[in-house]
Amino acid sequence: MQKTLSSPIFLSVLALMGLGLVQVYSSSYIYAIEGFGNGLFFFQKQVFFTLASILVLLLASQIPYHHLRSWFWAVWIFAGFSLLLTFIPGLGVRVGGAVRWLRLPMGFRLEPSELLKVSLSLFVAGLTIRSETPMGKVPLGVLLLLLVLPLVLLLQQPDFGAFVILSAVILIYLFVYGLRWRYIVATVALTLPAFYFLVMNVPYRRARVLAFLDPWSDPEQKGFQVIQSLISFSSGGFWGVGLGQGQGKLFFLPEAHTDFTLAVFGEETGFLGFVCLMGLYGFLMFKGLQLSTRARDPFARSLALGLTATFGLNVVVNVGVALGIVPPKGLTLPFLSYGGSSLMAMAALFGLLMNIDNNQRT
């Protein structure tokens, strides 16, 4: 445990969690007063989520390593089953036309797609050593079907952002593990028309793409989010306007405490704060990739690669959306956005990375 507590990964994650608490307080205070009559409504819940996430982080880092190797499939099946439960009336919670959450006791919600993001890497890494586990007797076709079915369910919710992240992680695995170029090109050639169909034939997704291409063509509707995000970044300048002093969160910037919290952060801390934040994210990505190359065990190398890719893609896509260089996807920014499911999933992700570091570092 002492090794875990002094780990650079652990200390960096704690720093991001602390920064996230400050960010949730700053970005949600006014909105919480207007909507709930309590400016600390979101902050208090985030404090609880953060404490729970620290516990998840420590537990994931201490799980006996042989359990990870032997039970990789169970986590994926549990996550997929949780996703399936969202389609049951009374259990699934519909917000904004999508049923992405499970209703839990005491008013809490669970977003199963966040569990999928972590468990995907466990499942794919387990496939690389399946002959050494009880799953070695299960036909590969059945395992691949188990891999694909939750992705189909994501499209039915719909949760296109999570679908894109998971699909991208799978493609990264295929590329790294030596899939021949002609197969990669064929896969991309088949995937692009499917993505085009999934985007352009769904009105709200098509509107997001059009807003991304030319937000100024409809600044009060389709392009509103992107324009307000860019205005917030511009207002921050180099030093920022100061914590709590941002104007974008005063109902100019939609989703100020979730999807577009980076714009609030950029306005209040400026370019300097943005660079420091990206430095923290970059350091964690570097440590994850370092583990994926140094670990002795093939399972550990594969797991570290997938977990790092999952984290990195979430950061890159959210930052890209906030800066107007990626179409809006509805993805939170790891550790800074409000939300318990995302926070605890990222804590589990880095707990597993620390687990690998403790058990497999040469």
Of 174-178, 181-185, 212-216, the range with the lowest mean pLDDT is 181-185
103: helix, strand or coil: strand
* pLDDT tens digits, one per residue of 120-131: 999 999 888 876
* pLDDT tens digits, one per residue of 135-150: 667 787 788 888 889 9
Place of tokens 């201490």: 62
Quickly state the pLDDT bin for 134 (edges 50, 70, 90): low
Largest CA-CA distance found in the chain, in angstroms, rounded: 60
Q: Would you tell me how many other CB atoms lie within 10 Å of the CB of residue 46?
A: 25
- Pairwise CA distance, residues 201 & 80, whole Å: 26
219's enclosing H/E stretch is none
pLDDT given at position 1: 67
Rounded to an integer, the average pLDDT of 337-357 is 95
Of 14-23, 72-81, 215-224, the range with the lowest mean pLDDT is 215-224
Residue 231 has pLDDT above 70, yes or no: yes
pLDDT given at position 253: 79
Rounded to an integer, the average pLDDT of 101-130 is 88
Of 48-52, 85-89, 247-251, the range with the lowest mean pLDDT is 247-251
Rounded to an integer, the average pLDDT of 340-351 is 96
CA distances from 52 to 47, 56, 58, 345 (A): 9, 6, 10, 11
Residue 133 has pLDDT above 90, yes or no: no
Rounded to an integer, the average pLDDT of 1-27 is 89
Q: Would you tell me how many other CB atoms lie within 10 Å of the CB of residue 349?
A: 26
Residue 30 has pLDDT above 60, yes or no: yes
Rounded to an integer, the average pLDDT of 82-97 is 85
Count of alpha carbons within 13 angstroms of residue 213, beta-carbon side:
6
DSSP H stretches of helix in 37-139: 41-62, 65-70, 72-85, 112-127
- Range(s) of the domain holding residue 33: 2-360
Q: First and final CA of the chain: distance in angstroms?
A: 19
- 58: amino acid identity, one letter: L
* pLDDT tens digits, one per residue of 247-305: 888 877 777 899 999 999 999 999 999 999 999 999 999 999 999 998 888 999 999 99
93: helix, strand or coil: strand
- Pairwise CA distance, residues 201 & 34, whole Å: 36
Paired strand residues for 99: 94
Cis omega (within 30 of 0) for bond into 64: no
Residue 362 has pLDDT above 50, yes or no: no
Quickly state the pLDDT bin for 64 (edges 50, 70, 90): confident
Looking at the chain, the whole-number percentage of residues with pLDDT higher than 90 is 51
Report pTM: 0.93
User: For the chain, what is the domain count?
Assistant: 1
Residue 361 has pLDDT above 60, yes or no: no
Residue 57 has pLDDT above 90, yes or no: yes
Residue 179 has pLDDT above 70, yes or no: no
Tokens representing 210?
Answer: 């059009």
